Amino acid sequence: MTTVHKVRNFIGGQWTNSTGTEFETVPNPATGAAIAQVPLSVRSDVEAAVAAARLAFPEWSAMAVPKRARILFKYQQLLVEHWEELAALITEENGKSYTEAYGEVQRGIECVEFAAGAPTLMMGAQLPDIATGLESGMYRYPLGVVAGISPFNFPMMVPCWMFPLAIACGNTFILKPSERTPLLAGRLAELLQAAGLPDGVFNIVHGSREVVNSILEHPEIRAISFVGSQPVAEYVYKNAAAHGKRVQALAGAKNHSIVLPDADLDLAVSNIIGAAFGSAGERCMACSVVIAVGEAAEPLIEKLKSAAAQIKIGNGMDSEVFLGPVIRSVHKERTIDYIETGVREGAQLLLDGRQAPAAQMDGYFLGPTIFDRVGTEMKIWKDEIFAPVLSIVRAESLKEAIAITNRSEFANGACLYTDSAKAVRQFREEIDAGMLGINVGVPAPMAFFPFSGYKKSFYGDLHANGRDGVEFYTRKKMVTARY
């Protein structure tokens, strides 16, 4: 029998019960069995976390930057030592395959490695002579208490886009993990404490709306990093800004992959299958639309269909499994509604995930679904479905394929499969998206580059990670001096 873990908040270095009375059950999506109870914390819990983070700030922000970095080096080491355990926990609460969870841990660790470069990243800039005998210099400082609100689909990687760099820069941090995947965050906190992080520098408040609203409204929180769905990102952006906060809000996506006739079709198919159905399509960089150009269409579609039909579905802890469950039964039902909508709209259903034997199992499984002849007037083309559903649109030219892609209201990622440098250049110049792949399925930038898109995929100015992240979590002072 599985033990049902009672999740607690982490405030000022202590595991603390929420003062709220409501809990939500967290099931393992592969079995439906309850694994945890997560508290829906209340405003007073956020206030307690802010008080702890404020208390920790003076000492933490004054600590020599190399000393802060050394704690992150130790943390990196502990994450590496606990790699398998962390990956298994991600699979248990999120459902993605162990291989993907293992890769997610790697992406999280890379963020810690980048943040450990704080002494270089925090440097300012000087010009000794802006006029005769007059010098000028820029100095970088932390903001104070900052907060992060994360989604269910990357319980480790997304929080690691936020807190390692935020604390490396000298801020103290409050994390509000997704209430659907709250467990991994607890291990991140325990390992931070083991690495020697002082109490109050990193805090966790679990819950949903009330916690988010309390964070948005709290006058002592200086900046908010949000990653999640489009409507909530827009809401967070507007409300955080209305309360005078700096905000970066990464939102939903509808990523297109364009396949030209000169592409290596086998490579394209294996990348598209990985990008469309890996992590059950629950990735902001998932490929949800393929645009088959000209003669690429028939052979590409045949190969996609046969590769998708061979996908092994099941519990992500089974090493043979590629496609795990979606996150909740309501998400499965919502996906089934979308499949019905696609059929009603006149798209051609080539592979029906509802018919996969796994769709009858306990847990929230659906097989891969492929629609052909999808049109841009259809809801299945417009909406982010966030499930193992792939739409195929046909186009006559690269120009037409780019125009179709740019019609989407989202602009996170886009990929091109081709052997032509000229086509690559045209794609790079004309496509309206933030993260581009050339013969690559999931072009997620590494931690030292900025991560994000445009249009309804992003609200804010500075993207996550890389130099943008350093800018986001610091403020600058300019000193002009004559001696």
Residue 208 contacts ligand NAD per CB under 6 A: yes
284 noted as active-site residue: yes
Kindly state the DSSP code that residue 323 receives in the 8-state scheme: B
Residue 148 contacts ligand NAD per CB under 6 A: no
> Can you tell me which of 103, 170, 200, 252 binds ligand NAD, judged by CB under 6 A?
252
Residue 41 contacts ligand NAD per CB under 6 A: no
Residue 411 contacts ligand NAD per CB under 6 A: no
On whether 379 is known to bind a ligand per the annotation, the reply is no
Residue 254 contacts ligand NAD per CB under 6 A: no
Greatest distance between any 2 Cα atoms in the chain: 79
Residue type present at position 212: V
Shortest distance, position 419 Cβ to ligand NAD, whole Å: 29
Shortest distance, position 409 Cβ to ligand NAD, whole Å: 13
Return all residues near 63 (Cβ < 8 A) that are at least 6 apart.
170
Residue 206 contacts ligand NAD per CB under 6 A: no
Q: Comparing C-alpha atoms, which of 294, 464, 293, 321 is closest to residue 388?
A: 321
How far is the C-alpha of 158 from the C-alpha of 108, rounded, in Å? 8
Residue 184 contacts ligand NAD per CB under 6 A: no
| Part of the chain binding ligand NAD (CB under 6 A), chosen from 127-135, 143-151, 192-200, 420-428 | 143-151
Return all residues near 322 (Cβ < 8 A) that are at least 6 apart.
97, 277, 278, 311, 312, 313
Residue type present at position 334: R
On whether 176 is known to bind a ligand per the annotation, the reply is yes
How far is the C-alpha of 354 from the C-alpha of 212, rounded, in Å? 35
- The number of helices, as runs of H, and strands, as runs of E, in the chain is 16, 23
With 0-12 / 13-18 / 19 or more C-beta atoms within 10 angstroms meaning exposed / middle / buried, residue 162 is buried
Residue type present at position 179: E
Shortest distance, position 233 Cβ to ligand NAD, whole Å: 7
Q: Comparing C-alpha atoms, which of 41, 22, 25 is closest to residue 33?
A: 25
Residue number with CB closer to ligand NAD (142 or 182): 182
> Can you tell me which of 40, 69, 149, 392 binds ligand NAD, judged by CB under 6 A?
149
Residue number with CB closer to ligand NAD (176 or 394): 176
Binding letters toward ligand NAD, positions 276-305, x by CB under 6 A: --------x---------------------
| Part of the chain binding ligand NAD (CB under 6 A), chosen from 247-255, 294-302, 347-355, 395-403 | 247-255
3-state secondary structure of 170: coil
Pairing status of strand 5-6 against strand 9-11: unpaired
What residues from 440 to 469 belong to the interface with ligand NAD (CB under 6 A)? 452, 457
Residue 92 contacts ligand NAD per CB under 6 A: no
> Can you tell me which of 4, 123, 127, 209 binds ligand NAD, judged by CB under 6 A?
209
Binding-site annotation, residues for NAD(+):
152, 176, 179-180, 384
